[in-house]
Amino acid sequence: MIDLIELWVDTHPFFSCLCIGGLIGLMSGIDDLSRTNTK
């Protein structure tokens, strides 16, 4: 499984960066939402 991911990263560097950035953005967005809900 890890080999497949590494192969994907090697062949699609831009797309993998986009995916990782999207995931991080999504996580921080959820984090912000949970913070505002608890206030």
Residue 9 has pLDDT above 70, yes or no: yes
Does this model's pTM top 0.85? My answer is no
pLDDT at position 8, please? 74
Nearest to 16 by CA among 31, 29, 32, 4: 4
Q: Do residues 3 and 10 make contact, with C-beta atoms less than 8 angstroms apart?
A: no
pLDDT of residue 18: 85
Output the pLDDT for position 19. Answer: 81
The pLDDT assigned to 39 comes to 63
Summarised one tens digit per residue, pLDDT across range 13-39 is: 788 788 888 999 999 998 888 888 776
